[in-house]
């Protein structure tokens, strides 16, 4: 498996200038792209290749030998574990704290403030969430449902996405009437135009502390440290805020 991953990445980059390869949690699809666009105005010579997915899958791929240079996880524990294994070489660093929301299309006319009772509404046939086995936002969604004592009641309604971005796409497309997704995705222009959201109190789930670090592979590319540092800049932090992330100076 490790040899196959290395071969694929080698073929993709054959004959090309060195690229900063980033694996990022799915909730960062819009925020991180905007951060990279800003960064490239300052450093147009640096090229970044962004791959988005569930944090658990990124963790597994890096452990299997995928040559990513940077890892952005929606669960700090994945970064800490890789650091303990020597696969992350910088001390795990927090970039933001995420929030989950209940989201629906405007045409459903559902009252989201009736949470959690609205999940039991007969008009709600499907509820989209991310896979709680490896997606931090899915795990948080499951915790909320369990803490409200309704997980088993709605279990048959759940449409499970591979990651939170896929879960958001399900409810956006109307495959599900409701979705428990990342606030950072709910605040994108297309989602705000098509639907509405209700912020789920964070007391109902373990806080989504999100962290990042440079991998062992990232030591081979000098530009990686420059982008790594930029993520903590005022410009990048402003973009995180725009997408609903909470900021913290906690370095855990």
Q: In this model, does residue 180 exceed pLDDT 60?
A: yes
Tokens representing 49 are: 């290749």
Average pLDDT in the chain? 93
Res. 17 pLDDT band, cuts 50 70 90:
low
Q: In this model, does residue 6 exceed pLDDT 60?
A: no
The pTM for the full model equals 0.90
CATH 1.20.1600.10 fits 2-97+209-242, yes or no: no
Would the CATH topology of 2-97+209-242 be identical to that of 100-199? yes
CATH 3.30.1950.10 fits 100-199, yes or no: no
What pLDDT, on the 0 to 100 scale, is given for residue 92?
96
Domain range summary for the chain, segments of one domain joined by +: 2-97+209-242, 100-199
Contact 182, 61 (CB under 8 A): no
Rounded average pLDDT over 107-121 = 97
What pLDDT, on the 0 to 100 scale, is given for residue 66?
97
């Amino acid at each position: 498996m490790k040899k196959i991953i290395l071969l694929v990445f080698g073929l993709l980059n054959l004959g090309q200038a060195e690229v900063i390869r980033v694996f990022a949690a799915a909730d960062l699809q819009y925020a991180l792209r905007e951060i990279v666009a800003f960064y490239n105005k300052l450093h147009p010579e640096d090229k970044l290749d962004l791959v988005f997915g569930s944090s658990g899958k990124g963790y597994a791929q890096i452990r299997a030998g995928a040559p990513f240079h940077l890892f952005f996880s929606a669960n700090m524990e994945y970064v800490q574990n890789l650091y303990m294994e020597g696969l992350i070489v910088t001390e795990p660093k927090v970039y933001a704290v995420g929030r989950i929301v209940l989201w629906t299309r405007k045409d459903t006319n559902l009252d989201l403030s009736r949470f959690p009772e609205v999940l039991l509404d007969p008009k709600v046939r499907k509820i989209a969430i991310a896979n709680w086995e490896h997606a931090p936002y899915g795990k948080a969604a499951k915790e909320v449902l369990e803490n409200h004592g309704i997980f088993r009641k709605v279990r048959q309604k759940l449409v499970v996405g591979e990651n939170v971005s896929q879960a958001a796409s399900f409810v956006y497309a109307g495959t599900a009437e409701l979705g428990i997704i990342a606030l950072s995705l709910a605040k994108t222009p297309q989602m705000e135009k098509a639907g509405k959201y209700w912020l789920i109190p964070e007391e109902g789930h373990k806080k989504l502390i999100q962290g990042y670090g440079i991998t062992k592979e990232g030591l081979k590319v000098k530009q990686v440290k420059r982008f790594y540092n930029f993520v903590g800049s005022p410009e990048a932090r402003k973009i995180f805020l725009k997408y609903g992330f909470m900021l913290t100076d906690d370095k855990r």
